Amino acid sequence: MHLFHVWAPRAESVDLLIVAPGTATGDAMPAEGAAGVRRVPMVPGDNGSWAVEVEDAGHGTDYAFSLDGGPALPDPRSAWQPYGVHGPSRVFDTARHPWSDAAWPGREAPGALFYELHLGTFTAEGTFDAAVERLDHLVDLGVDVVEVMPVAAFPGRHGWGYDGVALYAVHEPYGGPAAFQRFVDACHARGLAVCLDVVYNHLGPSGNYLAQFGPYFTDQHDTPWGDAVNLDDEGRTHVRRFVCDNALRWFEDFHVDCLRLDAVHALVDDSRQHLLAQLSGETADLARRLGRPLGLVAESDLNDPRMVEPVSAGGLGMTAQWSDDLHHALHALLTGEQQGYYTDFGGTDGVEVLARTLTRVFRHAGDFSTFRGADWGHPVDPARHRGHRFLAYLQNHDQVGNRALGDRVTASLSPGRLAAGAAVVLTSPFTPMLFMGEEWAASTPWLFFTDHDAELGALVSAGRRQEFGAHGWAAGDVPDPQDPATFESSRLDWAEADKDLGARMLRWHHDLVRLRRTEPDLRDDDLAAVRVRTGADWFVVRRGGFDVAVNLGPDAAVLPVGPDAEVVLDWHGDAQVADGGVRLPADGVAVLRRADRAG
């Protein structure tokens, strides 16, 4: 027996369509009037809800809804879309999985080492079960939290996942919802927490049937994707419930530990209580009930520390947020790039800009942003805001995949500069994050790829060429997102981890992570205690009893460090300490323990 329910406030009648096994094939609904489809009238309830209980339905039953005698539509809250986003839904009983993580205590997100991965390109198979076979690599590296890019069902077989349309379902080519439960269970068995990337600011253009059910969107606000998700217009209560229920079910039914909330600046909400504050409170309540910590990590372009301030103090209550300004400062300094949003980060002031982001998080904290053409951001107060509330990274899916060629910094930086970038991130006062393959300096690109139908795919391909053509790229030089080769070339090549540079860079990351774990000074997130000394092309970051020295100049140089400092880690292996300084070669980096730990 199963109770079916749906919110459809504008419908005069709603029918449940029970689809017999073998009736549905491919990514489409059965034809109108097809044999094997049973129509069951649903009963109206309060506030536009409809429900019906079916005696012979349960786990594995295929079904759809019909509004006012119209075409079959998938369930907006479907947990399982085995035929794709345009086909029938399937009942999924989340309680069937035999969880083995009863003793899992959870893990706090602030200060943990995050590792961002994309299921489809992390392994050759591109499935949850295949990813489980690589988890021991992450454990050996010292990862604390596996951040999985969006898995909500989206059209086609492969894509980034940010055009998901069935937000409660798990993408079937990855293995579906049962495989995701197995993956989380396997992570917990190894001491790894799981952070799931979720997208609530928009839905993709293909397979999005929500507007046919009710006012899920509003034209009162505009977003880069069109009408905004309805958080403050008529019908908002049910839409907000749709979003919050989705978030909470990942925690409760799939045992996820943390959510990464995509582009929250696009969640336009003029309500008295912002959706994020509501979700923060409900997540805290659930964490108390489950007896383990649950986290919310926001991606925000606002440069506003209110994002991570408590709701009780007027904040939005996020556990942490991504810090693109640190990435931009580090990337611009290491690569020399100054185009686009890097314009205010590089150049002759590049070292000073990095120092500012290491101590105050935001480059733009109320001052003028050239890229945006406006004053931007608000300052971080080191007396109130801790470093672990902000994620730091040298690379992530956006900063690699949104480049025309999807090239990682490996393609343009010397090994020494790669090592320096890793050292800055992994010894920083922030919560560090790695992007899959970064730990061995993966050479494989990570491109923008899609698998849309022919009509939509052609528009996406043309848009990509036009976007980069405006920046001087020839159309033929920009990989076609729809070409299967674009996706295939983005898969990690795990054999690289055992080759010369890969093995050496992997050891370097191992050593940095181990040092961070064993030394409290390197885990301290007091921003007021961070000191940065700078020169034209060098800098030294003081982290308690440690100095992180980086020489980016073309020649060897002596950098000021604490007296009688001891080299702990040295990329080139020839750092020399003498007379209160350390001599480093060009593109050299070393971590030193100071004898004067209190200095």
262 is an active site residue: yes
The Cβ of residue 465 has, within 10 Å, a number of other Cβ atoms equal to 20
Beta bridge partners of 218: 228
Beta bridge partners of 374: 369
Half-sphere exposure of 225 (CA within 13 A, CB side): 20
CA distance 156 to 173: 9
CA distance 539 to 274: 41
Query: Where on the phi/psi map is residue 10: left (φ > 0), alpha (ψ -120 to 50), or beta?
Result: alpha
- Strand extents, DSSP E, 162-253: 166-170, 193-198, 217-223, 226-229
Q: For 123, phi and psi rounded to 5 degrees?
A: -130, 165
Report which of 454, 453, 457, 446 is spatially closest to residue 487, judged by C-alpha positions.
446
Q: Give rounded-to-5 percent helix, strand, coil for the chain.
A: 35, 20, 45
The catalytically annotated residue of 163, 257, 269, 299 is 299
The catalytically annotated residue of 116, 262, 269, 511 is 262
The Cβ of residue 190 has, within 10 Å, a number of other Cβ atoms equal to 13
Half-sphere exposure of 292 (CA within 13 A, CB side): 18
CA distance 513 to 492: 22
519 is an active site residue: no
Report which of 459, 436, 454, 456 is spatially closest to residue 446, judged by C-alpha positions.
436
| Catalytic residue IDs | 262, 299
